């Protein structure tokens, strides 16, 4: 801040000018007396001159007063701030109104901004700083010993200052600041130093040059022989001697005395660091390294520690590596690395070598270093490096944690996330594709109604329909992988399912593969879709056949698993419970470990192009998971592969009730009557469904969304059945049904959707609803409409 310009000096009285005026007045009076010869007139004239002079003098002094006041020197704020910056702590000056006039840089650093001291917020205090200011204006000064502002522990002193005591000077000091040098001197040379001396511990404080600053009585007595000697400024190296064996002794003591053990503790850092040296007698004789027996004991102890640990000497050479360290860095048993840098990639060698060298010769501190190992160059690991003292030849400890298990879990989580994302994509694609297939199959059925076998177009239409059914099978596989397919679960026994598919398996396996079936005892019933379980068995059998090109044996083994057996398996995925297991084993070529974790991924296949879709095992995985089960794969190259499926045992409280059995028994004719409201946002599906229902005798009203359907319901008196898609824009099917049942509570509902029935039933909280999965044929639609009307 620039200083104010200097003010002009105030006017000073001039005595010679006053004397001259008096002489002039007397001369004028004498001249007048000589001229008029009248003493009385001359005296009056002289008195008038004197009075006029007095008036003029008074007016002159009156005019100079404000000029003098204006010319008073102004406060130089820059000078004040420079003076405040030289003070320790934070200093601020406020005026009569409490406004901030000036503050030093520490005040700005501690409190930020230009807030006046009285406005600073106190932590945990009800009283504000304004009270301290008021107290200082009243008493001249004020103080607060303990304050906490902005996380700082402070002490405050306030005092009046300035002309007329109109300003306040606020001084804040840090109450947690400690003069380390003074404190160390006090501890070592004071009562604490005496206590340390009585314990037989010698202590000395030295500066960066090795000159002693303070020492306790025990150190002074041993180093000089005189407890009261002054050793301040003496070099520490002049008091300590080193033998050829590397032992430390006081220079003034004879050779036969016990050697010293010296501990070096950094007290401060910076340009002039202070170091505390603690010295004590070493009764072990000061051996520089551990004996063979002690080294063997230390090494055996380190081998039991699960963390990877290694020891290196001052030169940075390995002197020991425990088993966990070797496993973590991927070293074989016979490998003998020389330096820690030999274990990392070339880019990290220099950093590792420098860190080992620094910690080997520096203080006993530690740090972590991110490096890439040669065995795992793609995954950085944390290498811990610490200075070692008291372990004989070892100068550095290196630690490395074995993260293989954590990495495996990370890969499993990433794999599960990827499978879930691909499953959602596959489910969405299958849903849209089902709408297209529904239209193709519907139009094929309508065309077949107008053609008879033998017509020129009949075979072509039938071929289109067959290919559409194959495409529908592919969408079912996608839905099975994404766990969104429609399942018809039943309570069943696994041996019954295997017996149903046994003849098909024999034809698929051929003559070169031998099929063996083994069933255990006391198998619990499971709840699953028998058709989907048959697909699981067929897919696993076909994969096993392809893995045995020269022939082999395929074994299907069912057995029960108790909770105790599950616990003995030690699986983190399989919860304890009663299971019925199916194990499918082959004697084929096996699966390499590198791809064993990818076999359940969609579209992953090791077969030649054109010989596999890559959905076989992913479909198996989806069906098993959707059925509430678990599947595990075990393989050994050249020995074969085993897939084990665990299905939870079903505990049924009562017999399963057949669904709509009476309705189907009493109505085999597809022709019907009634009025149907069809709600479908896909135009092609809506068109084919309308034509199919009309052909079977129904009166059909169509709506492309939920809002249009509600308008039709409000307009038409008779609606016998409502057929609705589930997923539609603006208003979905369930919402439309809830609104419709407010006025027609007994209205039958038939939902059609490409998503899984079980998934939809979980999200649709509605009663008396039927479900038809896409894609469907004209006949399936007619049957579903007939059954829904019969349950009315």
**Which among 89, 93, 124 has a CA at the least distance from the CA of 109?**
89
Going 358 to 359 to 361 to 365, the CA torsion angle's sign is positive
Q: Each residue of 295-327: pLDDT tens digit?
A: 555 566 666 676 788 888 878 888 888 888 888
Q: Each residue of 545-604: pLDDT tens digit?
A: 988 988 899 999 999 999 999 998 888 888 989 999 999 999 998 888 878 777 877 656
| CA 147 – CA 467 distance, rounded (Å) | 85
Residue 392 is predicted with a pLDDT of 66
- Residue 679 tokens read as 């709600």
**Which among 679, 674, 751 has a CA at the least distance from the CA of 718?**
674
- Residue 486 tokens read as 């429609």
Q: Cβ of 20: how many Cβ atoms within 10 Å?
A: 11
Percentage helix, strand, coil for the chain under 3-state DSSP, each rounded to 5:
45, 20, 35
Q: What are the start-end ranges of the E strands in 131-228?
A: 141-149, 152-161, 167-174, 202-206, 212-215
Q: Each residue of 182-218: pLDDT tens digit?
A: 666 667 777 777 777 777 788 888 888 888 888 888 8
The pTM (predicted TM-score) of the whole model is 0.38
- Residue 601 tokens read as 């991924």
Q: Which has the minimum average pLDDT: 56-65, 257-266, 338-347, 464-473?
A: 56-65
Bridge partners for 750 per DSSP = 723, 770
**Which among 65, 70, 30, 63 has a CA at the least distance from the CA of 46?**
30
| CA 225 – CA 213 distance, rounded (Å) | 18
User: Quick one: angle between helices 733-743 and 706-715, nearest 10?
Assistant: 20
How large is the average pLDDT for residues 404-411? 66
Share of the chain above pLDDT 90, in %: 14
Q: Each residue of 641-672: pLDDT tens digit?
A: 999 999 999 876 544 443 433 434 444 567 88
- Please indicate whether residue 286 or residue 106 has the higher confidence score (pLDDT): 106
Whether the pLDDT of residue 628 is over 80: the answer is yes
Q: Which has the minimum average pLDDT: 68-77, 260-269, 312-321?
A: 68-77
List strands edge to edge, sheet with 260-266: 212-215, 202-206, 275-281, 260-266, 248-250, 240-242
Bridge partners for 397 per DSSP = 311, 386
Burial letters for 568-586: b for 16+ Cβ neighbours within 10 Å, e otherwise?
eeeeeebeeeebbbbbbbb
- Please indicate whether residue 290 or residue 278 has the higher confidence score (pLDDT): 278
| CA 185 – CA 208 distance, rounded (Å) | 16
Residue 202 is predicted with a pLDDT of 85
How confident is the prediction for the chain on average, in pLDDT?
77
The single-letter DSSP state of residue 74 is P
| CA 477 – CA 466 distance, rounded (Å) | 17
Per-residue confidence at 73, pLDDT binned at 50, 70, 90? very low
Residue 690 is predicted with a pLDDT of 92
| CA 242 – CA 246 distance, rounded (Å) | 6
Q: Which has the minimum average pLDDT: 422-436, 438-452, 686-700, 739-753?
A: 422-436
Inter-residue contact 538 to 505 (CB < 8 Å): yes
| CA 314 – CA 332 distance, rounded (Å) | 25
- Please indicate whether residue 601 or residue 509 has the higher confidence score (pLDDT): 509
How large is the average pLDDT for residues 96-116? 83
| CA 209 – CA 274 distance, rounded (Å) | 9
Share of the chain above pLDDT 70, in %: 70
């Amino acid at each position: 801040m620039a200083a104010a310009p200097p003010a002009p000096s105030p006017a000073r009285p001039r005595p010679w000018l006053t004397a001259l005026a008096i002489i002039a007045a007397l001369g004028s009076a004498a001249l007048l007396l000589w001229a008029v010869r009248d003493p009385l007139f001359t005296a009056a004239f002289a008195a008038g001159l004197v009075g006029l002079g007095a008036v003029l003098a008074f007016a002159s002094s009156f005019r100079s007063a404000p000029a003098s006041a204006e010319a008073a020197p102004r406060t130089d704020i820059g000078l004040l701030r420079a003076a405040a910056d030289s003070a320790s702590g934070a200093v601020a000056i406020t005026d009569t109104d409490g406004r901030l006039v000036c503050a030093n840089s520490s005040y700005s650093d501690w409190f930020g901004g230009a807030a006046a001291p009285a406005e600073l917020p106190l932590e945990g205090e009800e009283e504000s700083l304004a009270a301290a200011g008021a107290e200082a204006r009243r008493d001249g000064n004020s103080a607060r010993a303990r304050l906490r502002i902005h996380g700082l522990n402070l002490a405050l002193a306030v005092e009046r200052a300035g002309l007329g005591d109109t300003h306040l000077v606020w001084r804040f000091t840090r109450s947690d600041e400690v003069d380390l040098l003074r404190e160390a001197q006090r501890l070592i040379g004071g009562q604490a130093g005496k206590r340390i001396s009585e314990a037989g511990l010698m202590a000395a404080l030295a500066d960066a040059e090795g000159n002693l600053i303070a020492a306790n009585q025990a150190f002074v007595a041993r180093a000089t022989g005189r407890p009261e000697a002054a050793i301040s400024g003496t070099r520490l190296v002049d008091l300590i001697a080193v033998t050829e064996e590397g032992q430390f002794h006081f220079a003034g003591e004879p050779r036969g005395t016990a050697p010293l053990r010296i501990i070096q503790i950094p007290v401060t850092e910076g340009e002039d660091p202070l170091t505390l040296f603690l010295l004590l007698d070493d009764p072990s004789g000061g051996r520089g390294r551990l004996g063979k027996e002690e080294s063997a004991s230390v090494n055996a102890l380190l081998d039991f520690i699960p963390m990877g640990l290694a020891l290196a000497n001052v030169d940075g050479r390995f002197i020991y590596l425990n088993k966990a360290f070797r496993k973590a860095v991927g070293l074989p048993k016979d490998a003998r690395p020389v330096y820690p840098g030999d274990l990392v990639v070339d880019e990290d060698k220099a950093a590792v070598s420098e860190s080992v060298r620094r910690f080997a010769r520096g203080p006993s501190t530690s740090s972590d270093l991110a490096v890439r190992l040669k065995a795992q160059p793609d995954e950085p690991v944390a290498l811990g490096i610490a200075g070692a003292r008291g372990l004989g030849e070892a100068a550095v400890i290196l630690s490395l944690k074995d993260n293989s298990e954590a990495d495996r879990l990370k890969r499993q989580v990433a794999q599960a996330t990827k499978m879930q994302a691909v499953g959602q994509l596959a489910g969405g694609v299958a849903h849209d594709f089902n709408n297209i297939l529904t239209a193709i199959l519907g139009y094929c059925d309508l065309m077949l109604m107008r053609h008879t076998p033998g017509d020129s177009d009949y075979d072509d239409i039938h071929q289109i329909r067959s290919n559409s059914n194959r495409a529908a099978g592919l969408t079912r596989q996608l839905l099975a992988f994404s766990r969104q397919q429609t399942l018809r679960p039943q309570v069943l026994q696994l041996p019954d399912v295997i017996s149903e598919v046994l003849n098909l398996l024999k034809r698929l396996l051929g003559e070169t593969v031998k099929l063996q079936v083994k069933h255990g005892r006391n198998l619990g019933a499971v709840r699953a879709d028998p058709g989907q379980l048959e697909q699981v068995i067929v897919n696993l059998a076909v994969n096993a056949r392809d893995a045995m090109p020269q022939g082999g044996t395929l074994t299907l083994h069912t057995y029960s698993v108790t909770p105790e057996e599950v616990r003995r398996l030690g699986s983190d995925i399989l919860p304890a419970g009663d299971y019925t297991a199916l194990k499918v084993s082959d004697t084929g070529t096996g699966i390499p470990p590198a791809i064993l974790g990818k076999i359940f991924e969609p579209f992953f296949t090791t077969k030649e192009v054109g010989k596999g879709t890559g959905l076989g095992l992913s479909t198996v995985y989806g069906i098993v998971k959707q059925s509430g089960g678990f599947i595990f794969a075990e393989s050994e190259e050249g020995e074969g592969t085993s897939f084990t499926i665990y299905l939870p045992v079903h505990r049924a409280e009562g017999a399963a009730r057949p669904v709509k059995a009476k309705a189907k028994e009493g109505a085999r004719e597809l022709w019907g009557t009634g009025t149907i409201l069809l709600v479908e946002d896909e135009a092609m599906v809506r068109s084919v469904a309308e034509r199919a229902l009309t052909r079977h005798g129904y009166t059909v009203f169509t709506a492309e969304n939920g809002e249009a359907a509600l308008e039709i319901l409000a307009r038409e008196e008779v609606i016998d059945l409502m057929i609705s898609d589930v997923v539609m824009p603006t208003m979905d099917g369930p919402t439309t049904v809830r609104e419709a049942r407010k006025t027609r509570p007994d209205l039958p509902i038939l939902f059609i959707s490409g998503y899984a029935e079980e998934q939809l039933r979980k999200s649709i909280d509605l009663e008396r609803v039927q479900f038809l999965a896409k894609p469907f044929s004209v006949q399936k639609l007619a049957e579903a409409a007939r059954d829904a009307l019969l349950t009315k």
